[in-house]
């Protein structure tokens, strides 16, 4: 992958190459010309700024944006995109960002770089592997940088090679050696508000291309409703990630996202669908820079209008935090 990113890192931006080639670096955060930080093992550390002046900084922005066929300017002062090596970036210009521009890069992880066994004790890993292989539906929750995407990538490697998996993401970030994995990537609208393709449209499209499993890289809007519908029409074994503070919060947040579809469906009905289709929630935390599974619960219907939940696992201390 470093060969691909080197195609973008020419001229002044070539000074960033060591940060991309350093496998201990997971994130690169450039704060205008003021400072630059990287994340290593869950901790931020300041490094020598690789782009010393605004000219070099805007040259690097141009090298990032042009291959995406997008533009960033006063009319569209922020952008999400993907580097040639698959790394994900976000750029925010001044005056929205101070000091601007801000560039955040989440480096693409190597496929298979983190085995499933790194996320928890052996008995839990075996249980998760068995449930995923038997096509149970799971939500994967956690905060930013807690390891949701990494865990999802590891779970993809556990799926039967004969299954057709459709992976839907806003910006393609996941990588997997699975032989029948196909990607669908959302598209932001133009500055004129045209041509956008949201995640929700892609979930509907996925149903028409004969998937065995539908995987949503991150649920953050009404696509949660369409994901529920897909689960309810025979596409078991689906997975999705979302931001939440706990496994229980993930269920409430997922139902709230489903309500954003605006179809005037009562909360009780949405909750019944969630309770009948979501088998469990795997929640990850980052503790002292270590990422691991902190909580797993299963759902077995409703009691009145409250989820009937069975805690399956809860981490104690820093045990089994290996990432």
Q: Between 174 and 222, name the one with better pLDDT.
A: 222
Q: Across all residues in the chain, what is the average pLDDT?
A: 88
The model's pLDDT over 262-288, given as tens digits with 9 standing for 90+, comes to 888 999 999 999 999 999 999 999 877
The proportion of the chain whose per-residue pLDDT surpasses 90, expressed as a percent, equals 56
Both structure tokens of 23: 């496998």
Per-residue pLDDT, 74: 86
Per-residue pLDDT, 3: 57
Per-residue pLDDT, 268: 92
CA distance 283 to 304: 25
* Backbone conformation region of residue 61, classed left if phi is above 0, alpha if psi is from -120 to 50, else beta: alpha
The model's pLDDT over 81-110, given as tens digits with 9 standing for 90+, comes to 888 888 889 999 999 998 779 999 998 876
Per-residue pLDDT, 6: 64
Per-residue pLDDT, 208: 92
Per-residue pLDDT, 96: 93
pLDDT > 70? residue 171? yes
Per-residue pLDDT, 172: 82
**In Å, what is the CA distance from 103 to each residue of 85, 88, 89, 188, 203?**
17, 11, 7, 18, 30
Q: How confident is the model at residue 318 (pLDDT cuts 50, 70, 90)?
A: low
The proportion of the chain whose per-residue pLDDT surpasses 70, expressed as a percent, equals 93
Domains, the chain, in order of start with CATH, read 2-106 (3.30.450.90), 116-314 (3.40.50.300)
The model's pLDDT over 3-22, given as tens digits with 9 standing for 90+, comes to 566 667 777 778 888 898 89
Task: Please tell me what DSSP assigns to residue 28.
Answer: E
Per-residue pLDDT, 305: 87
Q: How confident is the model at residue 176 (pLDDT cuts 50, 70, 90)?
A: confident
CA 28 to chain centroid, in Å, comes to 17
pLDDT > 80? residue 319? no
6-19: b or e for each residue (b if 16 or more CB lie within 10 Å)?
bebbeebbebbbeb
The model's pLDDT over 229-250, given as tens digits with 9 standing for 90+, comes to 888 887 899 999 999 999 999 9
Q: How confident is the model at residue 317 (pLDDT cuts 50, 70, 90)?
A: low
The model's pLDDT over 109-144, given as tens digits with 9 standing for 90+, comes to 765 568 888 899 999 999 999 999 999 999 999 998
Task: Please tell me what DSSP assigns to residue 236.
Answer: -
The answer to whether the pTM exceeds 0.75 is yes
CA distance 82 to 90: 9
Both structure tokens of 269: 């009905």
The model's pLDDT over 55-75, given as tens digits with 9 standing for 90+, comes to 999 999 998 998 887 788 888
């Amino acid at each position: 992958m470093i060969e691909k990113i080197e195609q973008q890192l020419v001229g002044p931006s070539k000074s960033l190459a060591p940060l991309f080639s350093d496998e201990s670096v997971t994130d690169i955060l450039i704060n205008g010309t003021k400072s630059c930080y990287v994340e290593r093992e869950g901790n931020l550390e300041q490094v020598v700024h690789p782009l010393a002046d605004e000219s070099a900084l805007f040259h690097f922005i141009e090298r990032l944006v042009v291959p995406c066929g997008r533009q960033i300017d006063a009319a569209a002062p922020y952008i999400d995109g993907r580097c040639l090596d698959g790394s994900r970036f976000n750029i925010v210009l001044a005056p929205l960002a101070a000091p601007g521009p801000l560039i955040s890069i989440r480096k693409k992880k190597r496929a298979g770089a983190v085995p499933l066994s790194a996320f928890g004790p052996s008995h839990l890993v075996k249980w998760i592997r068995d449930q995923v292989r038997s096509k149970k539906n799971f939500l994967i929750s956690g905060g930013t940088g807690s390891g949701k995407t990494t865990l999802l990538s590891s779970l993809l490697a556990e799926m039967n090679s004969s299954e057709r998996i459709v992976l839907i993401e806003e910006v393609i970030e996941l990588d997997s050696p699975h032989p029948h994995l196909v990607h669908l990537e959302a598209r932001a609208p133009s500055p004129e508000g045209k041509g956008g393709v949201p995640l929700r449209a892609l979930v509907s499209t996925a149903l028409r291309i004969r998937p065995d499993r539908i995987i949503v890289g991150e649920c953050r809007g009404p696509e949660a409703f369409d994901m529920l519908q897909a689960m309810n029409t025979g596409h078991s074994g689906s997975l999705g990630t979302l931001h939440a503070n706990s496994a229980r919060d993930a269920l409430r947040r997922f139902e709230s996202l489903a309500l954003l579809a605006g179809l005037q469906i009562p909360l009780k009905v949405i909750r019944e669908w969630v309770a009948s289709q979501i088998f469990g929630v795997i929640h990850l935390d980052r503790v002292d820079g270590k990422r691991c599974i902190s909580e797993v619960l299963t759902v077995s219907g409703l009691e009145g209008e409250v989820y009937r939940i069975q805690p399956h696992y809860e981490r104690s201390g820093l045990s089994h935090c290996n990432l």
